[in-house]
Structures are given as structure tokens and as C-alpha cells.
Chain A
Amino acid sequence: MENEIILETKNIIKDFPGVRALDNVSFYLKEGEVLGLVGENGAGKSTLMKILSGAYPFPSYSGEIFWKGKKCEFSRPKDSEETGIAIIYQELNLIPKLTVAENIFLGREPTVGKTGIISWKRLFNQAKELLNLLNISIAPDENIENLSIGKQQMVEIAKALSYDARILILDEPTSALTDHEIESLFKMINSLRERGVSMVYISHKLDEIFEITDRVTVLRDGKTVGSKLTAELTRQELIAKMVGRDIKDMYPKQTVQINEAVLEVKDFFVNHPFLLGEKVVREVNFQARKGEVLGIYGLMGSGRSELLTAIFGSFPADSAGEVCIEGKRTDIRSTHQAIDYGLGLVTEDRKLFGLVLGMGVGENVTLSSLEKLSWYQIIRKQQEHEVIEKYTQSLKIKTPSSETTVGTLSGGNQQKVVIAKWLATDPKILLLDEPTRGVDVGAKVEIYQIINGLTKKGVAVVMVSSDLPEILGMSDRILVMHEGRMVKEFLKGESTQEKIMFYATGGNDGS
């Protein structure tokens, strides 16, 4: 491998109102290298990448960027693109109604002579060539909206490389991908590496970091705290560097006395929202008990999120069967009713479903519990303030103030705000859908401790997760779902990753 440094930054400083996001960051990237960039939520990873991509233009930060030893100033995204840097954001930027080829060559479509009329034949041929070259098996005339998220991401990458990018930045690329899609992404990364493309790979999933990167640079509180070859690094060491302390136990599960069932789900079916006669959840029966963490594992499309949202009364299709809370049969038709019954649901996608991003941290925290905090319609400001303080402190939410717009917080802190919102309603049963997605290791442990605190108070916690170690580490009991059915139940200690995967992928006892 060549050792030439392609990109280097020196002493980058970037301020936001109330926070210094980057504080003298220096890092470098070599040709043909995959660099893992890790750090806690809010460490400044995305900010640094946005500076490199010109999204935060030149004079809004201080410090220097060198491309192959030459100083550059990117004052708009186009500058960086022309230099050879491409970034794939977590939110994809494709136009759903257009075809793959049109998206790739958007604004640069080949034309018939100089007429300005698009030459469709050449457009599709060029796209096909590019996709073949990258070993991507997607038809260039397919509409984007018909592709899975993973495939869409491939198209984004193809688009980036069609600009002759020499550096590809991937900011948490796998958080919405299935295992299979992650595998193909990694194949692609490997073949790009062979062709000399350098990559920056940002992720909170340390397994991926160890699998795919050559070297890891760690950011903490806006500062670079170290850089080391992946091969010379241990997991413990990496975590310690990231959070600035040793984390001995990633899953600090505390088992408490488990009492009677509070939630009973009997013969539960959920219809498909569009397809008539189809069901996304079939004949599900389970109980959740006071003080227990019930883990539910299933692959994407197994009906796990649909099950939770249907119990919570917010799924856009009918369901059948019984949901009993504290022995009483319920008929929950709105989230408002669900809250009255003592249910809470931490949704999967915090940006779309969990938070009002434009409102303050505090306003988000109390959004579901305002009724308790008001005298008729009038909000009791003092009480509201106390609740906000209580939860921002006990969940250690890092924010300049409770009035800060929640959208400017880092991912992990946003997730804690969602959890705080539900804790403020004082739930008896808390449903968690992927509670630690996009959350850093340190904050993960803190969220597990919050879960411990809940079970100690006798709350029943139902946790859906696609993170197997998390399910194994935190659950008292594990249910496995496959194609809408509950196919297996494991008690604590009975299960292993392999056993769970076996049932989750459709294996059964008979075979």
C-alpha cells in the first residue's frame, strides 16, 4: 500500500452557539486507506466531515486543510466535490421519482449534440457501465423509490464515484441497513480500497470498525485523542479512548424481583397497511411482567416494530386480538389512550417520529406529560421546569440549555431526550424500539442503566433490538420473531447468538 498522505487537516476549530464542536483537530488520511473515525455522540465527527465537504464553508471555521500537501479552502460543496471528496450522509439525497441513471448523472446528463435534449440511450449506457464497474447489480432504469435503502445507498456511492472522487466519506452508513446489505457494502468498500480510493468510515458499531478499517482515529469532545492501526488496537483500548474512562461492563444488567404480568397480548394479529388480507403480525401471544426486560429479536421485516406500534395504538392498520393491561382488557385506538393506560413507546426513528426537531430540549421532554403539568390549559412553568431539570440531569443529557433546539444535539443526546419524554409520563410499560441505534458506547451503557432504574421501580420494559449482544446482555427473557410470528422463547442464559439467529432466519425445532 502506498503511504502518501492525500488529505490532512491542521488545527481545525469550529464553534456553534454555546459549544465548541471542534477544538484544534488535526488528522490525516492516506491514499487507499479506510480510516475509522470514532467518538462519542457530539464528539464532532459529522462536523469535521461537513467542513471537509464544504457544507460548513471556509471562513466559518479556522484551521487549514491540505490536499496532497496543497492548502485548500472549500467555500461551497462544489469546491470539495471538484477536488475529489464525496460524502454519503446518513439521510440519502436521491430523487425518488427518477431512475437510477437520472439520479447518478443529475445535472450532467449526456445530450444529443448541443440541443440540450437528453440522450437516454447514452445516459443509460453510461450508468450501466459505471454500475458494472462497481459490481452493483441494479438496473439503471429502475426508479429510486422501488429500491431498498441499501440499494439506494449503493446508488449514492456510484454517483459520488462518477465524479471521480478520490475520498469517500461514509457517515454512519449502516444504521438503516440489513445484515445482508451491510455485507455487500463491505464488499464494495474493499474493492474501492483496492482501486486506491481513500475512505473515512464513521460508525458507532465497533464490530464494523474492526472488520473494515485499516486505521482508527478517535475524537473526544472535539479533540483528536489518538490514532492507531486497527490491527494493533483492542476493543477495550478503543472504548477507553472514546469515552475517556474504562468501561468494564458493556451490559450492566441488574436483575430484580420479577412480579406479576402487566401486559398480556393474546392472539394478536396486525393487518398489512396496504395489502388487503396480508398480515404483518400473526397470532402473537406474550406477557411482560413488572421488573422484567423482555427482549424481542427479529430481522428487518419480521414484524417487530409493527407489533410494538400496534400495541401502542399508532399503527395505520387494524389489529385483532386482545391486549390486557393489569388484567383489564383494553381497546387502545390512539396514542393518547395508550399513555393513559401507562404505556410509552420510544420509536425507532427519532428524527421522524420521536422529536419535534425545531423545538427546545425542554419542550420535547414534557411534550407527552403536559397534561399533568398544567392547570386546565395553563402550563405551570415552575413544575415544568423542575421536570425538565430532573430528567436532563438524571439522564445526563448534554445540552447548552433546556431551550436549545433539540435538532442541534448529537444523536445520542437526542435519543436520551426521547427517552426522557417517556420517563416523564411515568409509564408502567415502556416499549423500546431500537433504543440505542446511532448511540455511542458510553451513552449506550447509560441507557442500559436507565433501563435498570426502570425495572427497579417495577416498570415492564419491552425492548426490540437488532443488536444481538444487547438483547443477550440486557434481557431477562428473549422472544424471537420471524415473518410476523413469535417462533421461540428463551429464558435468561438459555440462548446464544447462534441459537437466536437460527430461529430468526426461519429455522425450527422440527428440522
Chain B
Amino acid sequence: MGLKKKFFQQALIKKYGNLIGLITLVIIVTILTRGTFFTQRNLVNVLRQVSVNGILAVGMTLVILIGGIDLSVGSVVALTGIIAAMSQSLGTIPAIILTLIAGAIIGGWNGFFVTKFKIPPFIITLGMMTIARGLCLVISKGQAISGLNDSFLDISESYISPPVAITAIVLGFLVLAFFTAMQKRKKRLNGQTSNSTIAGIMNILLIFAAAAFTIWLVSYRGLPMGALIFLVIAFAGMCVLRRTRFGRYVYAVGGNEEASRLSGINVKLVKFLVFTIMGVLAAVSGMVLAARLNAGVPTAGVMFELDAIASVVIGGTSLSGGYGSVGGSIIGAFIIGVLNNGMQLLHIPSFYQEIVKGIIIIGAVLMDRKKK
């Protein structure tokens, strides 16, 4: 019996370890900033900052799950921001579509070289990182391109008004709770090993706590559009990985490429699609950033790839592929976002910020190793 309890505790840490880490970090930062951190105003700000990296982290989760890596996303964020800025005259919607297509082409290019010529993702995306950065400077002549349409700025700057946002959140969480309960019931009916009741209660409590927190957060000014885009993409990412064939194949290819191929999976197509999706998400992220900066900036997005990779790794996804989740990466993105914001509030010089961030990343991964 004692043994069972130990396993249970281990499983708990494994499942909620990242979340516990995030909450601890929030508490520490709140104390250090004497509460400034934990105000609605600042938290909404954190949410907006996290969105840009978070969108990338969702895509990067897929890339890392198949055992790949994409170093070009930072440059692609800048390039797509510029493309969006330069095509404003076409109208907002055409500009958005054009930018998404550009992102897909760049990601597809990476995927093409990885699958067709078997070039390691590290190399091809490293090349794309410099190519895209160079293109940024060439087409923008090194200047920030400003003067975006007001309707384009809404991508980041508008808010869903509090009443609408709260209603949506309440409905959303109710649906979530309903489905969780349904699934539990189904599992029990199927006689599958259902988690113990304690875990079930934990889950429900978590859902309620998250709901209460978000309602409190958005009651201030509403939900920022950029954050909404991020949350929708994150949710979609989770659904794709858990519920779809494609998602299953992503895990399989990352776990054992040869066995996947011999099981009839079109491994090349899966890889190609993953890189393409990453490109599209980089474009989305690039547009959110451009809207926030009110300009396409050729030097934007430097080192964003590292933040995205760090989020994924902190979130527990294995760099060798096959194991991990979008949920973990999202928590990872929040950890990095809270860290960045907290250090800004504390006026830690930016040079030191980088060092602290590096240490935290290494620490988080070490903790993760310990657990396994």
C-alpha cells in the first residue's frame, strides 16, 4: 500500500510539476515586487507578452515532438511582420492571408529540405534563420515599416469586452468540465484504470481555480485579442495532438520513425506538415507582434526561437522526440514570461536577466531529468 502511495505521489509530481513550478515562481515574484506583479494591469500585460512566444511554442512542440528543431522562427517572425506591414495597402484581410501564405511557404521550404534531401532540421533552419533575417533587411531597406491599418492593429490591441469575455470563459469552462466528467464516466464504464478520486477532485479544483482566475483577470479591461489568438491556437494544438490521427502520427514518428514508416504512416508528409504549421504559426506570431509594435521591424524577434525552444523543454517535451505535450509548453511559456516580466519590474539590468533565465532553464530541465 505504501508503495502505491509513493507511485501516486510521483505521478502527481510528474503531471503537475511544471504547474507547481509556475505557481511557485508567481508567488516569489509577487513577494519580491511587493504585489506589483500580481495586479490585473500587470498580469494582462504578461499575458500579452507571453502570447507572441506562446504561439511559437505551440508550433515548436510539434517540431520537437518529431525529433526536429526550428531555429528560423525568430527571423520568420520579423520577416512576416514586415510582409504584413508592406501589404497593408491591399486591405487588412488580404494582408493577413498573404502573410500566412508567406509563413507556410517558408515553413514548407524547411520541411521540403528536411524530408526530400534528408538535411538535418538544425542545419536547414539555421540557414533559413539567416536567409530570413537578410530578407528582412533587404525588403525593408533596414527601416521599420510603420503606418499600419487601424483594423490590423486590432489583432493585438483590441480587447474583448469584459462581459463578453466572462460569458465566454464561463461557458468554455463548463463545457470543459462537462467533457472531463464524461470522459471519466466512459473510462469507468469501459473498466479502464481511471485515475483515483483524489486526482479527479484535483482536476476539477484546478479547472475552477483557473476559471476564477481568468474571470478576475479579464474583468479589468477584457481579454486582449492577441491573448485570445494564443489561447485558441493552444487549445487547437492540444486537440490536434490528443484527438487527431495527425497528432498520433506526430508522436509515432518522433518515437520511432522506422516503425512508423513500416506501419504505413507517411512519415515525410507528417514532417513536412509539421514544419509548414510551424511556419504559419510564426507568421501569426509575427503579425501579433507587428500589431503590438505598430510596425514591421526588421530586427524584431531576435532569439525568439530560443525562448520557444526553452518553453517546450521546460514543459517536459523530450528533445529527442516522441514524448511531450502542448499543455506543458504553454506552462513553459508562462514561466519564461513571468520571469521576463518579474525581472523588468525588479529593474534587474537586462544583461543579468539573460543569465538568470539561462540558469532557470537549465534548472528546470535538471528537475525534469530527476523525475524520470
B264 and A368 form a contact (CB under 8 A):
yes
- Of B7, B246, B258, B264, the contact of A353 (CB 8 Å cutoff): B258
Closest chain-A Cβ to B133's Cβ sits at a distance in Å of 35
B192 and A356 form a contact (CB under 8 A):
no
Is B190 in the interface zone, CB < 8 Å from A? yes
In the complex, the chain A residue whose C-beta lies closest to that of B255 is: A356
Is B248 in the interface zone, CB < 8 Å from A? yes
Q: Mark B243-264, 1 if CB is under 8 A from A, else 0.
A: 1111011011001101111111
A414 to B260, CA, bound (A): 16
A401 and B192 form a contact (CB under 8 A):
yes
Q: A357: which B residues are within 8 A, CB to CB?
A: 255-256
B193 and A401 form a contact (CB under 8 A):
yes
Q: Which of A314-373 contact B (CB under 8 A)?
A: 314, 334-336, 338-339, 345, 347, 352-359, 363, 367-368, 370-371
A228 to B263, CA, bound (A): 44
In the complex, the chain B residue whose C-beta lies closest to that of A370 is: B245
B261 and A335 form a contact (CB under 8 A):
yes
**Contact A353 to B259, CB < 8 A, known contacts A338-B264, A378-B243, A379-B243:** yes
A400 to B192, CA, bound (A): 10
A379 and B193 form a contact (CB under 8 A):
no
- Of B248, B252, B258, B266, the contact of A352 (CB 8 Å cutoff): B258
- Of A339, A377, A382, A385, the contact of B264 (CB 8 Å cutoff): A339
Q: A260: which B residues are within 8 A, CB to CB?
A: none
Is B186 in the interface zone, CB < 8 Å from A? yes
Is A278 in the interface zone, CB < 8 Å from B? no
Count of B interface residues, CB-CB < 8 Å: 27
Is B237 in the interface zone, CB < 8 Å from A? no
- Of A314, A335, A358, A382, the contact of B186 (CB 8 Å cutoff): A382
Is A143 in the interface zone, CB < 8 Å from B? no
Closest chain-A Cβ to B114's Cβ sits at a distance in Å of 18
Count of A interface residues, CB-CB < 8 Å: 38
Q: B248: which A residues are within 8 A, CB to CB?
A: 363, 367, 370, 379
B243 and A356 form a contact (CB under 8 A):
no
**Contact A356 to B256, CB < 8 A, known contacts A363-B248, A379-B244, A379-B248:** yes
Q: A338: which B residues are within 8 A, CB to CB?
A: 264
**Contact A377 to B246, CB < 8 A, known contacts A335-B262, A367-B263:** yes
A395 to B323, CA, bound (A): 28
A379 to B244, CA, bound (A): 5
Q: A353: which B residues are within 8 A, CB to CB?
A: 258-259, 262
- Of B7, B186, B265, the contact of A367 (CB 8 Å cutoff): B265
A377 to B239, CA, bound (A): 11
Is B222 in the interface zone, CB < 8 Å from A? no
Interface centre among B246, B261, B262 (most CB of A within 10 A): B262
Is A125 in the interface zone, CB < 8 Å from B? no
Q: Mark B187-217, 1 if CB is under 8 A from A, else 0.
A: 0001011000000000000000000000000
A356 and B252 form a contact (CB under 8 A):
yes
Is A505 in the interface zone, CB < 8 Å from B? no
In the complex, the chain A residue whose C-beta lies closest to that of B249 is: A370
B322 and A356 form a contact (CB under 8 A):
yes
In the complex, the chain B residue whose C-beta lies closest to that of A369 is: B264
Is B3 in the interface zone, CB < 8 Å from A? yes
Is A267 in the interface zone, CB < 8 Å from B? no
Closest chain-A Cβ to B371's Cβ sits at a distance in Å of 14
- Of B243, B244, B261, the contact of A314 (CB 8 Å cutoff): B261
Q: B259: which A residues are within 8 A, CB to CB?
A: 352-356
Q: B252: which A residues are within 8 A, CB to CB?
A: 356, 359, 363, 367
A402 and B261 form a contact (CB under 8 A):
no
A353 to B252, CA, bound (A): 12
A4 to B353, CA, bound (A): 66
Is A421 in the interface zone, CB < 8 Å from B? yes
Closest chain-A Cβ to B205's Cβ sits at a distance in Å of 23
Q: A347: which B residues are within 8 A, CB to CB?
A: 262
**Contact A374 to B245, CB < 8 A, known contacts A357-B255, A357-B256:** yes
In the complex, the chain A residue whose C-beta lies closest to that of B251 is: A359
Is A403 in the interface zone, CB < 8 Å from B? yes
Is A510 in the interface zone, CB < 8 Å from B? no
Is A142 in the interface zone, CB < 8 Å from B? no
A425 to B255, CA, bound (A): 21
Interface centre among B193, B251, B255 (most CB of A within 10 A): B255
In the complex, the chain B residue whose C-beta lies closest to that of A352 is: B258
A403 to B187, CA, bound (A): 12
A370 to B264, CA, bound (A): 10
A358 and B7 form a contact (CB under 8 A):
no
Is A15 in the interface zone, CB < 8 Å from B? yes
A363 to B246, CA, bound (A): 13
Is A17 in the interface zone, CB < 8 Å from B? yes
B260 and A377 form a contact (CB under 8 A):
no
**Contact A336 to B243, CB < 8 A, known contacts A352-B258, A355-B259, A382-B186:** no
Closest chain-B Cβ to A81's Cβ sits at a distance in Å of 24
Q: Which of B246-302 contact A (CB under 8 A)?
A: 246, 248-249, 251-252, 255-256, 258-266
**Contact A368 to B263, CB < 8 A, known contacts A357-B255, A358-B323, A379-B245:** yes
Q: Mark A365-408, 1 if CB is under 8 A from B, else 0.
A: 00110110010011101100100010000000000111100000
A17 to B251, CA, bound (A): 23
A92 to B165, CA, bound (A): 59
**Contact A367 to B260, CB < 8 A, known contacts A358-B255, A358-B323, A401-B193:** yes
B322 and A358 form a contact (CB under 8 A):
yes
Interface centre among B245, B259, B266 (most CB of A within 10 A): B259
In the complex, the chain B residue whose C-beta lies closest to that of A20 is: B3
Q: A401: which B residues are within 8 A, CB to CB?
A: 192-193
Closest chain-B Cβ to A137's Cβ sits at a distance in Å of 34
A336 and B3 form a contact (CB under 8 A):
no
A139 to B161, CA, bound (A): 79
Q: A363: which B residues are within 8 A, CB to CB?
A: 248, 251-252
In the complex, the chain A residue whose C-beta lies closest to that of B320 is: A358
Q: A352: which B residues are within 8 A, CB to CB?
A: 256, 258-259
A401 to B190, CA, bound (A): 12
In the complex, the chain B residue whose C-beta lies closest to that of A16 is: B7
In the complex, the chain B residue whose C-beta lies closest to that of A377 is: B244
A356 and B7 form a contact (CB under 8 A):
no
B262 and A355 form a contact (CB under 8 A):
no
Q: B249: which A residues are within 8 A, CB to CB?
A: 370
A359 to B248, CA, bound (A): 10
Q: Which of A469-503 contact B (CB under 8 A)?
A: none
Closest chain-B Cβ to A220's Cβ sits at a distance in Å of 23
26 contacts between A and B (CB under 8 A): A15-B3, A314-B262, A334-B266, A335-B262, A338-B264, A352-B258, A352-B259, A353-B259, A353-B262, A355-B256, A356-B322, A358-B255, A358-B256, A359-B252, A363-B248, A363-B251, A368-B263, A370-B248, A377-B244, A379-B243, A381-B186, A385-B190, A400-B193, A402-B192, A403-B192, A403-B193
Which 3 pairs across A and B sit closest by C-beta, in order of nearness? A356-B255, A377-B244, A339-B264
Give me 7 other A-B pairs in contact (C-beta within 8 A), A355-B256, A358-B256 excluded.
Answer: A334-B266, A335-B263, A354-B259, A356-B260, A356-B322, A367-B248, A370-B248
